[in-house]
Amino acid sequence: MINQKYVDGCAATPAADCTCNINPVDLFLNFAVTGPTTDANGCDSYTATCTCTAGNTNCQVQLFDAVALGGNNVGNVPFTGTLTMTVTCPPGSDGLFFRGTLTSGATSTTINNFMSANCVNA
């Protein structure tokens, strides 16, 4: 696996199990993705940005539980202007499922357990 970090459960301080084994840049359609940034605990995070063109009224982020926008739609987040999503691979996700905190203006929401996303600028 790519970037696999093993957890030593016997260690005095077990290693964080929060490394992304897949890169969201490959799974997020129509986003500008930067990262990863790795924190002091070894946890990865990415920033994905989606922009809604002025005058468009149906901009949204669609989230899916499989790669390539497949599987089930697990959430839609409407927005205007620019939406920034901080993406992590939380402990217990086996580095395969993402958690995204989506922020647009003063509105913020967190969605768990998705594998791909689509930025709809319409």
Contact by Cβ (8 Å): 41, 50: no
Q: What's the rounded Cα separation, in Å, for the pair 105 and 87? A: 18
**Would you say residue 4 has pLDDT above 80?**
no
More confident residue, 48 or 95: 48
Give how far Cα 91 sits from Cα of 5, 18, 30, 85, 106, Å: 12, 5, 27, 19, 28
pLDDT at 81: 96
Whether 72 contacts 65, CB under 8 Å:
yes
Q: Where do we find the tokens 């799974």?
A: 27
Residues 6+ positions from 55 with CB-CB distance below 8 Å: none
pLDDT in tens, 38-85: 988 888 899 999 999 999 999 999 999 999 899 999 999 999 999 999
What lies within 8 Å, CB to CB, of 1 at 6+ separation is: 21, 95
pLDDT at 16: 63
